[in-house]
Chains A and B, each alone.
Chain A
Amino acid sequence: MKEAYSLEQLKSLMRVTEKESVTCPGLEMGLPKGAITEISGAGKTEFVIQFLASHRHLRVAWIEESLSVFPFGFLQRDIDLEKVLFIEAGASLVWSALQVLKAQVFPVLVLYAEDIDLRNLRRIQVLSERSGAVVIWLTPKVQSHWPTHLRLQTNKTPQGVEAHILKQRF
């Protein structure tokens, strides 16, 4: 009879496939590469900006249905604006995200959308895996779609923005 694995052994086996991550201020484990990270809550954009400021050399695609970000605010927070491509995608948000991921020239993709349906989210997840990009999905409310690898909720404190992990996939 085969020896049964202990839970620890199973966990260690699962860790073999653990995603590579990129360091992120305020989040010890960093943001996973080739996976979707969902961020909601007050200060979510600030949190992403802190992450981008700590990786100024990375090329970023910032996609929103109707663009509301203020690039001058990015500049004040030490973002290299030459590296950020802003895309106001309207109804073609998912299409734009897929094009960006297919091109494999953007190590970071930031999406701002209230909701993305499961099928499209799964397509984004598959392409993010292939391109190895950090995909950050900013959303006003916490979502519960399974393709998300890491789910964070941010809130503002006098010390700055704090992020709490709501879900993390191995």
Chain B
Amino acid sequence: MKIIAVLLKNESCDDVLPRLAEACLRLSPQVAVGDRCLFIEIGKSLRIYSDQTLLLRLQSLLRRFSVTGQIGIGDDIPTARARAFFQNQRLPIEALQIYATPFRVSDSLSKPILNLKRLGLQFLDEFSSLPMASLASRFGKDGVYARHYLDHVREIAWPYFQPKEQISESETLNEGAIIREFEPLLFLLKKNVDRALLRLFSQGKQALEVRVRIHLDKYSTVQEPLREWNFEFAFPQGSVIGVLPILRERIERDLQRKPFESPVEKIEFEILNGVVSQGRQKDFFNKKEEESESFNAVVSRLTEKLGFDHVFLAQPIESYFPDQSWRKTLDAHSFAKEVEKPPLLPRPLRLLKKPQKLVRIDSYFVLRERKWRITEIKDVERLSGAWWMSEVEREYFRAEVAGGEELWIFQDSVTKDFYLHGIFD
């Protein structure tokens, strides 16, 4: 067993600690939280990360959560915590207290420690030389526990750690800060998004739906003290680079229309829906994963602004009728690997959304101000619709016109009217 202990320096770290612990789940599944201290069992993770890499990752996490801390490594929980606290391999006798109560801060052994120092015991390893039978009467139960943990006679039970179900990160602005624009808020939002996505990633998930809330100072004149934006992504997002431009785009647009009525009090980022994503290791020899992530990010950005109906892949469907021969999708996996091309005459590359009625005058077709002189007609075919839907029967043909254009025209078999349906552009 090998343990890393992270002792936070900040006094008000109770709120950060569980969130940081959640983010640390990416390093090891065994994590515990104590008073101002976080423990990570890294014995098995060392097959994936080296000591050095783990420490670098931890330091990066601390920076991203805006906290500072001291790190210690040991074979058990009290040793790791004591090394984090004293930053020394040989521990002083004061570390006895940490061995007695490894998860909480206490001073139950402060007097005995003082006495031991008076007796000339300077280091913790010297405590082991005291006879076991005398410990209970001299130091009480804490002294006995400390000796047991020191000699590894008793195992320490890890307290249960359960990450919060809802992932939310927020930042309250200082009272002196008067911010009414979005640009400075973006820095705070970026931090919150990063933290929330880190926590989500440690659960093996990516964000599909998120919410940004901005609380404004509640002046009596303010009509809407809480501004809220919900975002649904086309593809799950796992990085700030993907998420932030989407948030920025919409919020900035909205704020141009309706600016903040009073200074910002608090900013909040919440993950409403996360989906399980496959654990991905970076492939140094293949950029496919990175490309796929960038593709997902850009599609999410486009759908956010243009709508899901306006950004799509076209999936072919078996149908003779041109309007029903494909459907919109964003799921490339739903495509059949080998699409069998139906034995049809060539279709045009441009199709009108609604066929336009043509007027025929001799060898001319007229559509409003435009007039085409037909030079040749070819590729005639008859398409009839399913009788159970609406009985349609059309005779399509390809019309070459003077000037080089080619039109796709049909004649309705019932009304005998001509319609322009496509262009061989």
Contact = CB atoms under 8 A, between A and B. Distances in A.
Contacts of A117: none
Contact of B314 (A43, A45, A84): A84
A95 interface: yes
B298 A156 contact: no
Interface in B294-347: 294-295, 297-299, 301-302, 305-306, 309-316, 322, 325-326, 332, 335, 339, 341, 344, 346-347
Q: Which of B302, B311, B424, B425 has the most CB of A within 10 A?
A: B425
A49 B322 CA distance: 19
Contacts of B305: 92, 95
A9 interface: no
A156 B406 contact: yes
Contacts of A81: 313-316, 326, 335, 339
Interface stretch (B58-66, B263-271, B349-357): B349-357
A42 B312 CA distance: 27
Given A87-B302, A87-B311, A88-B310, A105 B347 contact: no
Contacts of B404: 42-43, 155-156
A41 B405 CA distance: 9
B18 interface: no
A74 B349 contact: yes
Contacts of A99: 298, 301-302
B257 to A, nearest CB: 16
B69 interface: no
Given A46-B425, A49-B349, A81-B314, A96 B302 contact: yes
A73 interface: yes
Interface in A80-135: 81-82, 84-90, 92, 95-96, 99-100, 102-105
A68 interface: yes
Contacts of A92: 305-306
B281 to A, nearest CB: 20
Contacts of A49: 349
A103 B425 contact: no
B238 to A, nearest CB: 16
B291 A71 contact: no
Contact of A71 (B302, B314, B341, B403): B314
B288 to A, nearest CB: 11
A163 to B, nearest CB: 13
Contacts of A42: 403-406, 425
Interface in B92-132: none
A77 B341 CA distance: 10
A72 interface: yes
Q: Interface range on chain B: under 10, 10 to 19, 20 to 34, or 35 or more? A: 35 or more
Interface range for A? 35 or more
A71 B346 contact: no
Contacts of B422: 70, 73
B204 interface: no
B347 A72 contact: yes
Interface string A38-58: 000011111001000000000
A43 B403 CA distance: 11
B74 interface: no
A68 B326 contact: no
Contact of B349 (A70, A84, A100, A155): A70
Contacts of B335: 81-82
Contacts of A88: 306, 309-311
A59 B216 CA distance: 44
Interface in B374-425: 403-406, 422, 424-425
A73 B311 contact: no
A82 B310 contact: no
A76 B310 contact: no
Given A103-B294, A103-B297, A105-B294, A70 B348 contact: yes
A87 B298 CA distance: 12
A100 B298 contact: yes
B313 A43 contact: no
Given A43-B404, A49-B349, A70-B422, A104 B313 contact: no
Contacts of A95: 305
Contacts of A43: 404, 424-425
A46 B311 contact: no
A40 B299 CA distance: 28
A70 B351 contact: yes
A86 B312 contact: yes
A59 B346 CA distance: 24
Contact of A72 (B299, B316, B405): B316
Given A75-B316, A95-B305, 18 more contacts: A42-B404, A70-B350, A71-B326, A73-B346, A73-B349, A74-B314, A75-B326, A76-B341, A76-B347, A81-B316, A84-B314, A85-B311, A88-B309, A88-B311, A89-B310, A90-B306, A99-B302, A103-B298
Interface of A: 42-46, 49, 59, 66, 68-77, 81-82, 84-90, 92, 95-96, 99-100, 102-105, 155-156
Interface of B: 291, 294-295, 297-299, 301-302, 305-306, 309-316, 322, 325-326, 332, 335, 339, 341, 344, 346-353, 403-406, 422, 424-425
17 contacts: A43-B425, A68-B352, A69-B349, A72-B347, A73-B347, A76-B341, A81-B315, A81-B316, A86-B313, A86-B314, A87-B310, A99-B298, A103-B294, A105-B291, A105-B295, A155-B404, A156-B405
